[in-house]
Chains A and B, each alone.
Chain A
Amino acid sequence: MTDLIFNVFILLTIIPCFWVALSSNIVHAAFSLLITLFGIAGLYVLLGADFIGVIQVIVYIGGILVLIIFGVMMTQRGKLLPLSIQLPGKLFGAVLTGVILAALLLSATRTLWPVAAVLGEPQLTSAAIGDLLLGKYLIPFEIASVLLLAALIGAVLIARRSVRGE
């Protein structure tokens, strides 16, 4: 049963991925990314991290992707642009992608990972994450929140100044 669900999530993650990279329609690409992100959230839950899985849906799907779709709706006028660039650039991209994919796969298979012999049962994570974030990782946590605040203010400023500039 778990295997079946696992395979479903793997397929949910992989298949739309190709649309994300290749579709010439940007809204279709964004919608495919939604399905991919959903599949990844499911995989996180199967990895025993229910908290991260749900946060993945809230932050990526409920926040970032909404922003992206919002951006598409604001900037898309008239007919959709075909998205791919000329052949040389495409060829270069394809070769580079192939090299990186090969390197990643090689390092993944060649390295002897010290996989734990017996996997511990996944325990409830939300409390442990909270403890770590406000204990051992307090400073990175605070820095991340300052970064988010700075990004928020910066985003408002950048989008606003161009209004006055006109």
Chain B
Amino acid sequence: MNSLYTYLFLAALLFSLGIFGVFQRRSLIGMLIAIELMLNGASINFMAFNRFLAPDPIVGQIYTLFIMGIAAAEAAIALSIIVAVFRRLRSINIERAQELRG
């Protein structure tokens, strides 16, 4: 069970569910949640390759750390944008946010 393929399938599932979530949501926060799912799928791949293909160095783990850092930055910016949009439109529905189109 504890093989590379299990992790790869798991990562593929997380990534595609994330994509489906992004397409299916109407709310900005829902899309943000789905994006986190995709990032985690990518992280799992890095960690699994790191363990099974290159068991000695820990470079894959460092990549995962960087992904986490970027995810944190992305979440902070996205949420401030969401709060700003909500203040202006009283809603975080992306179909209403189309008014921003120039």
A interacts with B: yes
Judged by DSSP, the binding face of A is helix
Roughly how many angstroms separate A110 CA and B90 CA in the complex, as a whole number?
49
Indicate if the CB atoms of A21 and B29 lie closer than 8 Å. no
Indicate if the CB atoms of A26 and B30 lie closer than 8 Å. yes
Provided the pairs A55-B65, A60-B36, A166-B87 are in contact, do residues A43 and B30 lie with their beta carbons within 8 angstroms?
Answer: no
Residues 1-43 of chain B, each 1 if its beta carbon lies under 8 Å from chain A, else 0: 1101111111111111111111111110110111011001001
Give every chain A residue within 8 A of B95 (Cβ-Cβ): 85
Roughly how many angstroms separate A148 CA and B93 CA in the complex, as a whole number?
27
Provided the pairs A33-B36, A64-B71, A68-B79 are in contact, do residues A83 and B51 lie with their beta carbons within 8 angstroms?
Answer: no
Roughly how many angstroms separate A34 CA and B53 CA in the complex, as a whole number?
29
Q: How distant is B63 from chain A, measured CB to nearest CB, in Å? A: 10
Q: What residues make up the interface of A, taking CB atoms closer than 8 Å to B?
A: 2-3, 6-7, 10, 13-14, 17-18, 20-22, 26, 29-30, 33, 36-37, 40, 43-44, 46-49, 51-52, 55-56, 59-60, 63-65, 67-68, 70-72, 74-75, 77, 81, 83-85, 89-90, 92-94, 96-98, 100-101, 104-105, 108-109, 113-116, 119-120, 122, 125, 128-129, 132-133, 137, 140, 144-145, 147-148, 150-152, 154-159, 161-163, 165-166
